[in-house]
Amino acid sequence: MRRTGTSASVILICLLVVALAAGSITGCKKEEKAETKEKAELVLWHYWDLPHQRRTLEALVDDYNQSQDDVRVKTRYIPDADFKKELALSMADGNTPDIALVDSVDFQFFNSMQPFVDLTDDIEELGQYLPAAVEPCTAEGRTLGLPAGLNCTALFYNADMFEAAGLSVPGTWEAFYDAARLLTTDDICGYAQIALKGEESLYAFLPILWSMGGDVDAIDSPESRQAFELLRKMARSGYLGKESISLTGSDLAGQFADGKVAMMFNSIMMADHIRERNPELDFGMTYLPSDGERVSAVGGEIFGVMEGDNEKASVAFLRYISEVDRLSSYIDGLGLLAPRKDVMDRQFAGDALLRGGADIFKTARMREISPEWPRVSAVIAEAIDEAIAGGKSVETILDETSGAIRGIREGAR
Amino acid sequence: MKRERTLRQKLTPFFFLAVAIPIIIFACLSMYRLERSIRASLDRQIAGNMNKADQCLDMVLDKYGTLLYDLCTDDEVISLVEEINRNQDGLEVNSNYLRRELSHICNRNRGIEGITVITAEGRTIYYDHLSASSAGSSWASEVTAPAVTEGPVYEGITEPVTSGKESVYMLRIARRLVDYEDIHKEVGTVVMSMNEDLLTEALDAWDIAENYLVHDNLIISAPDNNDIGKTIDEIKKEEYEYTSVVNERTGFTIYNRQSLKAYHDTFYEQGIFWLLITAAAVGIVFVLVYVLTRPYLKEIDTIADAMNEVEQGNFRTEVAVNDKMPVEIRKICNGFNEMVKHIEMLIEQVKAAILEQKNAELSALEAQIDPHFLYNTLDTINWKAIERGEFEISEMVGALADILRYTVKNAGGETSMEQELYWLRQYIILQSAKAGKEILVRLDVPDSLRGCRIHKLLLQPFVENAIKHGMKRKEGECRIDISMHGTEHQIHIIITDNGTGMDTSTLARLNSQEFENDTEYASNHLGITNVRKRLRLYYGEQADVYFESRPGSYTKVHLFIPAVPAGEGGTRA
């Protein structure tokens, strides 16, 4: 009995050990957790719609994302027509992007609603920037944005058409009108104007206004009226394409590249886009017509940093893209003029057409820099639209516009 | 006193433990694993459910939030409200236009029960979808603007709105009207009232759980509308698990109420399953123990019964052995059977010895009728014979008296070889006188054997037979030779007569073992039969006798008895 008990106990213990071993094998499965570092995400809003500009921006952002492990910059494209509203409303809702690329003329308007982060002390390179680039983003002596690039309005002309018609490039408004008249056929529009209500419309129109001696704050003056009358006259006689009222800058550049438009006023940065779209096209880019002083409008974009958690990282990104060598490396790709003279002077070497753009820039005048400018601009854009397509007399249009501008000015005071 | 237990009773607990313990350990481990896995799956289910509820809530609110956003940033709506604020609404044209806009939104989008616009100047313009009216509403006109700084503000309403017969619970989303040209300008606030059913649908967790939406500790959406307005503690029940997640968009808390019934049921079922397994295994083990031990126990019982029988004296008992038996049991049975046979034989021998002893004693009694009378008579005859000069008679009578004395005194006891031979000589004298022939006796006995012990009258029957049968019809000299040879343990006695001998068949019978069983023949040779019995009785298997004869020539009797030197051993009689 004792022997039996002992051996039975041994067997039982063996069973126990086996059972426990089995249990421990099944019971102790390790749960592994993969730890991945969550990168902060920077959101950048822009409205660049030209393919080469978007490509260049994406490449720049990719390079930055690869260069460090802390943040990932993500871009979001918002069409120009909605951009201003979208950004303003995001400010109202408190869900702004970290960085916004805004039109230089809108910078003060946005800044008045929600101040941008002061970059004066954070980005050393700003000291080297051209006043024309930095001024729109300067308030009380502080620089609140990083100019991305500059451009200006130029007269684009289809060289083949001019040659075929035996015309030379117009230098005066009269020659311009005649050229438009002569070049207009059933298929071809002699001249087309960016007239889709928005800042771009002003950008194309203001040089005409200024060249004729007009001014925004004297919109109903005879000089100013002359500019509107020119548009009205050309529209009525069919030399100015009626579809202009729905064209953006790049739309118009597309039509020009397709040979449907003989002349246009557009940003010099469209030259690359046209060449890309129709490499065969023989076209030129020159000063706008003038009866006196040659004038063009300065355009450009400015990066603004929004206040928030990612402020520092955003500034770091801007510092990265502002480094002079890097700026040289991408600015040509954007088709813009560099916002600093040393770089601008070295730009587009061997490209006579674009190099010419830099010369035209010298005639460019800056638009008004004020918080109320977008509203003033909107009123004038409305007037341009009305002048081209509307039924009211130019005088009436300008009286109303003048009143509206006065109202805005008073409200701003 | 320790209780006696059978083999089966001793084995059973060990088998029970050997089966039950591993099963119980495995069951415990399995239950533990199951519990963890169900728990993990339940947690995943709850997490998934909460995540889904959170996302669905976001999706619904995103849709209505976008509608509200579009309304609040619509340039036309903004300019309408701004016009109204500037009091340029003499004929209510702007308000009516706005009301139409509101009704369009309500009618196009299911679930929007009303929109109220509260202008910066304090005017309220609304559309009540429940009563399809923008002029009279019991509730839409009463909606007040919450403080909105940026983005939408969500507000659950715990008091139902009654319109007609139905009571409707609402969720309100409020947003500032924003003029993007001047985002800081106060234009007004829009409050959109959503039907709570939309939230219930979004939070629906089918039948696996229930989701509650809680704002400021009060339920604002629940599967059962009666729970709206209660705190989560008020609806808490046993057997349910409560988990919560905060919806980031609204700041509301989503409570998940998960029934633990299925979880407990599974656990319970698994427990029962293991119990049944254990019971079945233990049952099988019991049956196996019973079935496997039964044939052995049966055989052992048979052997035990047989032992009892033997104990009772039945030596005929035999345990049947067959090939189906395990070899161990077969060995035991065979051994037992052998043993019983052996015991039986021994007992038979003892019985026979006792019987012989009794017979001898009886014979002795018979012979002791009155020896003194016989001696005296023989003495008288002796004197009469001497008186008459009959010395031969006197010698015969003297021999007869010696013989009588020798036989009567301690008959069957032991004596010395010397005395036995002396007595034999006396006997032969008498026999030769009786037969009327002289019988020569030749002894060839070494002196060393003369002192050896021998049972009385052991040689007499052979001498008697030799005279009676061998010399009856013998002509000429009659001789009896008695020679002895001794070895260390045995004495070989040869009694030879030169009588007529006997035929081979008689010789064969006498030497055969069946001789004793042949009753008819044995009665004719009673003397030889007796000698054989006595030999067996005295010496067992150590003594033997056989006959040798040639008809008309001689007869030899060879007798082997153990050598017992003088003064050693003792009689067994």
In a domain, B322, yes or no: yes
Same domain as B333, residue B187: no
Percentage of residues of chain A with pLDDT beyond 90: 51
How many domains does chain B divide into? 3
- Looking at CA atoms only, how far is residue A89 from chain B in angstroms? 6
In contact, A267 and A118? CB cutoff 8 Å: no
**Token pair recorded at residue B226:** 């009666």
In a domain, B273, yes or no: no
Same domain as B453, residue B358: no
Using the Cβ of B383 and the Cβ atoms of chain A, whether some distance falls under 8 Å is answered with no
Q: Which residue has the tokens 């390179």?
A: A125
Percentage of residues of chain A with pLDDT beyond 70: 92
| Cα distance between residue A366 and residue B456, in whole Å | 171
Q: Closest by alpha carbon to B201, among B183, B230, B227, B221?
A: B221
Using the Cβ of B148 and the Cβ atoms of chain A, whether some distance falls under 8 Å is answered with no
- Number of Cβ within 10 Å of residue A361's Cβ equals 21
Same domain as B482, residue B335: no
Residues of B in contact with A5 (CB under 8 A): 14
Using the Cβ of B40 and the Cβ atoms of chain A, whether some distance falls under 8 Å is answered with no
Nearest CB to B18 within list A11, A26, A93:
A11
Residue A19 φ then ψ, to 5°: -60, -45
Same domain as B195, residue B96: yes
In a domain, B505, yes or no: yes
The strand ranges marked E within A5-52 are: 40-46
- Which residues touch B98 (CB under 8 Å, ≥6 apart)? B77, B80, B81, B84, B117, B125
> Cβ contact (<8 Å) for B25 and A375?
no
Using the Cβ of B2 and the Cβ atoms of chain A, whether some distance falls under 8 Å is answered with no
The per-residue pLDDT for B329 is 84
Give the dihedral of Cα atoms B377, B382, B383, B389; nearest 10 deg: 150
The per-residue pLDDT for A31 is 47
Residue B477's identity, in one-letter code, is E
| Cα distance between residue A324 and residue A344, in whole Å | 11
Q: Closest by alpha carbon to A93, among B75, B49, B65?
A: B65
Domain endpoint, select from B343, B362, B381: B362
Residue to mutate among B15, B74, B181, with most A CBs inside 10 A, is B181
Q: Does the pLDDT of residue A179 top 90, yes or no?
A: yes
| Cα distance between residue B113 and residue B111, in whole Å | 6
| Cα distance between residue A124 and residue B264, in whole Å | 68
Nearest CB to A88 within list B22, B33, B180:
B180
Strand partners of residue B479: B440
Same domain as B486, residue B552: yes
Q: Tell me, what DSSP letter sits at residue B62?
A: H
Q: Does the pLDDT of residue A254 top 80, yes or no?
A: yes
> Cβ contact (<8 Å) for B29 and A26?
yes
Q: Exposure pattern of A269-288 as b/e (b: 16+ CB <10 Å)? A: bbbbbbbebeeeeebebbbb
> Cβ contact (<8 Å) for A19 and B17?
no
- Total residue length of chain A: 413
- Looking at CA atoms only, how far is residue B217 from chain A in angstroms? 27
With helix as H, strand as E and coil as C, how does B221-259 read?
Answer: ECCCHHHCCCCCCCCCCCCEEEEEEECCCCCCEEEEEEE
In a domain, B326, yes or no: yes
Phi-psi domain of A261 (left: phi exceeds 0; alpha: psi -120 through 50; beta: other):
beta
Helix (H, G, I), strand (E, B) or coil at B488: coil
| Cα distance between residue B25 and residue B23, in whole Å | 5
Residue-number span of the structural domain to which B334 is assigned: 315-362
In a domain, B525, yes or no: yes
Same domain as B153, residue B51: yes
Q: Which residue has the tokens 């629906």?
A: B204
Q: Tell me, what DSSP letter sits at residue A310?
A: T
**Token pair recorded at residue A204:** 């194309």
The per-residue pLDDT for A159 is 93
We report the CATH number of the domain holding residue B552 as 3.30.565.10
Quickly list DSSP for B63-83.
Answer: HHHHHHHHHHH-HHHHHHHHH
Residue B182 φ then ψ, to 5°: -150, 90
pLDDT tens readout for residues A58-102: 999 999 999 998 899 999 999 887 898 899 999 988 889 999 999
We report the CATH number of the domain holding residue B119 as 3.30.450.20
Same domain as B320, residue B250: no
Nearest CB to B180 within list A8, A89, A95:
A89
| Cα distance between residue B285 and residue B19, in whole Å | 8
The per-residue pLDDT for B189 is 92
| Cα distance between residue A3 and residue A16, in whole Å | 20
In a domain, B395, yes or no: no
| Cα distance between residue A320 and residue A123, in whole Å | 9
In a domain, B8, yes or no: no
Same domain as B67, residue B167: yes
- Looking at CA atoms only, how far is residue A91 from chain B in angstroms? 8
Same domain as B246, residue B100: yes
Domain endpoint, select from B239, B259, B279: B259
Same domain as B357, residue B230: no
Residues 288-317 of B with CB under 8 A from A: none
**Token pair recorded at residue A147:** 């100019």
| Cα distance between residue B54 and residue B384, in whole Å | 158
Average pLDDT across chain A, whole number: 87
Helix (H, G, I), strand (E, B) or coil at A299: strand
Give all domains of chain A, ordered by start, each with its CATH number.
40-150+299-362 (3.40.190.10), 152-297+369-412 (3.40.190.10)
The per-residue pLDDT for B59 is 92
pLDDT tens readout for residues B303-321: 888 889 888 888 888 888 8
Same domain as B153, residue B52: yes
The whole-number mean pLDDT for each consecutive block of 10 residues of chain B, a chain of 573 residues, reads 75 84 88 89 89 91 91 89 81 85 90 91 88 82 82 87 82 90 87 90 84 90 88 86 90 89 87 90 88 84 88 83 82 88 89 86 68 82 89 85 79 84 88 84 89 87 86 84 89 91 84 67 70 82 88 90 75 39
Residues of B in contact with A22 (CB under 8 A): 26, 29
Same domain as B136, residue B62: yes
- Looking at CA atoms only, how far is residue B178 from chain A in angstroms? 7
In a domain, B451, yes or no: yes
